[in-house]
Amino acid sequence: MSHLLCVAPMMDVTDRHCRFFHRLLAPNSRLYTEMITANAVLKGNTAKLLEFDSRESPVALQLGGSDPKLLAIASRIGSEMGYEEINLNCGCPSKRVVSGNFGASLMQSPNLVADCVKSMIDSSANLVTVKHRLAIDENEDYGFTHKFVQTVESAGCRVFIVHARNAFLGGLSPKKNRVVPPVKMHYVKQLKKDFPNCSFIANGGLSSVGKCMDVLNLKGSIKKSESIDGVMLGREAISNPWILVELEKVLFSSNSNLPSYPGSIVENLQRYFETQVNVGLKPTQITRNWLHLFKNYRGSKIWRHSLTSGMSPVEAYKKANFLPFAG
Ligand SMILES: Cc1cc2nc3c(=O)[nH]c(=O)nc-3n(C[C@H](O)[C@H](O)[C@H](O)COP(=O)(O)O)c2cc1C
């Protein structure tokens, strides 16, 4: 499956319940886990951390770390668990991550990233990809981004997910780091021109179908060879998940299984919900990222409040007085 439509890795958001939900909305998309450190994969409760439902596939496991040996072992475990892609995080600007010398701070050490990527590729049969920023702090030099990609490409990486902003390592919180540094999609386009044999996925502020189509340079559905290879949506997929259905419609021709209305996935969500409750999970833990399914529909607030008070999807649907289920 291609990277044409991806949903971003988001800590405390893109857990397996969220991915199951996104998969129903976007059958052709590529989904990412939250960042999991290589250390946690090796020393934590690996089965619990990495478990996922095969109906979520294809899923990419995003790893955090900067030790080539640990990353190699974590990648092998990830591919044995059934993940289709292993992604290395070179974009997280949080203090904890930066003080551990990984995430966005890795942009300053392209040779180390190349070593990490090489050992990840050597240890697993999976596609290994990198998600990165453009540069660090006030560095506006495209040459820096180019050099980073060139170095990592020489280690065998062929797919780059570019959060098209700088990361400010001192002073800006992760939240501000997703808003304050300006988005520079033209850098991603330039990377595609300079490295035509690599795939580049654009990320950052893609909050409408129109913006995605623009960045993909799509007129109708004809994709030009020099165009970038995909879009990755983060926050919009959470606050307005129906955009995934809209993007599926315009980006893929094989989309006959798409839901026609948010209510058409509720019974499916209910079945999933029941199996998870039966193994002991709290209802709100399962549904916390399903809250905005009915954004802009009358009854949406009742749906949200009902789920956050622990109701099942079908109960919340009925309480909100949405259309009756068909059939
Ligand atoms: C709550 C939250 C958690 C995030 N966690 C991660 C993460 O674990 N790994 C990562 O690479 N990026 C993470 N990000 C960044 C997103 O993957 C994405 O790059 C960023 O939000 C920009 O895309 P957007 O403008 O479409 O939201 C996170 C973003 C948010 C909002």
Give 7-28 pLDDT, tens digit per residue. Answer: 999 999 999 999 999 999 999 9
Confidence band of 157 (pLDDT split at 50, 70, 90): very high
Which of 104, 97, 48 is closest to 77 using CA atoms?
48
171 CA to centre of ligand 1 in angstroms:
18
Q: Are residues 191 and 211 in the same domain?
A: yes
Residues 164 and 305 in one domain: no
How confident is the model over 267-287, as pLDDT tens digits? 999 999 999 999 999 999 999
Ligand 1 pocket, residue 13 CB under 6 Å: yes
Same domain membership, residue 287 and residue 246 = no
CB 24 within 8 A of CB 269: yes
- 54 lies in the same domain as 155: yes
Residue that wins the pLDDT comparison between 148 and 174 = 148
CA of 44 to the centre of ligand 1 (A): 23
**Token pair of 20, please?**
């199951």
Mean local confidence (pLDDT), 278-301 = 96
Please indicate, yes or no, whether residues 148 and 274 belong to a single structural domain of this protein: no
User: Does 207 share its domain with 63?
Assistant: yes
Q: Is residue 284 part of a domain?
A: yes
Kindly state if the Cβ of 65 falls inside 6 Å of ligand 1. no
289 lines ligand 1 (CB under 6 A): no
| 325 occurs within a structural domain | no
* Cα gap 102→89, rounded to integer Å: 8
The amino acid sitting at 45 is N
CATH code assigned at 35: 3.20.20.70
Range of the domain at 287: 262-319
Ligand 1 atom closest to Cα of residue 34: 8
Per-residue confidence (pLDDT) for residue 1, from 0 to 100? 72
Q: Domain boundary residue among 225, 251, 277?
A: 251
What is the pTM for the complete model shown? 0.96
C-alpha–C-alpha distance, residues 72 and 136, integer Å: 26
The reported pLDDT for the residue numbered 221 is 53
Flag whether pLDDT at 199 surpasses 90. Answer: yes
Answer whether residue 109 shows pLDDT above 90: yes
Residue 179, amino acid? V
Mutate to test the pocket of ligand 1, among 7, 11, 35, 209 (most ligand atoms within 8 A of CB): 11
Residue where a domain terminates, one of 202, 228, 251: 251
In 3D, which of 63, 64, 93 has the Cα closest to residue 174?
Answer: 93
One domain, residues 42 and 96: yes
| Span from the CA of 222 to the centroid of ligand 1 (angstroms) | 29
As a whole number of Å, the CA-based R_g of the chain is: 20
Asked if residue 146 belongs to a domain, the reply is yes
Please check whether residue 267 is in contact with residue 19, taking contact to mean a CB–CB distance below 8 angstroms.
no
In the block, tokens 């958001």 appear at 13
Domain count, the chain: 2
- Predicted confidence at residue 165, as pLDDT, reads 97
Q: How far apart are the first and last CA of the chain?
A: 33
**Residue-averaged pLDDT of the chain:** 94
The answer to whether residues 202 and 270 belong to one domain is: no
Tell me whether residue 92 is one of the annotated catalytic residues: yes
Q: Is residue 257 part of a domain?
A: no
pLDDT at residue 327 tops 50: no
Q: What is the pLDDT of residues 245-268, one digit of tens each?
A: 999 999 998 777 899 999 999 999
- Of 92, 116, 157, 212, the active-site residue reads 92
Answer with the one of 223, 251, 279 that is the final residue of a domain. 251
Are 156 and 286 within one domain? no
- For residue 256, tell me if it sits in a domain: no
Residue nearest to atom 4 of ligand 1 (CA): 10
Q: Which pair of tokens denotes residue 198? A: 């690599």
- Residue to mutate (ligand 1; options 10, 59, 132; most atoms within 8 A of CB): 10
Res. 90 pLDDT band, cuts 50 70 90: very high
315 Cα–ligand 1 center, Å: 31
On whether residue 231 sits in a domain, the answer given is yes
Instruction: Please give the torsion angle defined by the CA atoms of residues 188, 37, 283 and 303, in that order, rounded to the nearest 10 degrees.
Output: -20
Q: Is residue 220 domain-resident?
A: yes
Distance between Cα 165 and ligand 1 center (Å): 12
| Inside any domain, residue 232 | yes
- Claim to verify: residue 232 and residue 287 sit in the same structural domain: no
Query: 287: Cβ below 6 Å to ligand 1?
Result: no
Residues 112 and 142 in one domain: yes
Clarify whether residues 90 and 113 are in a common domain: yes
Atom from ligand 1 closest to the CA of residue 13: 1
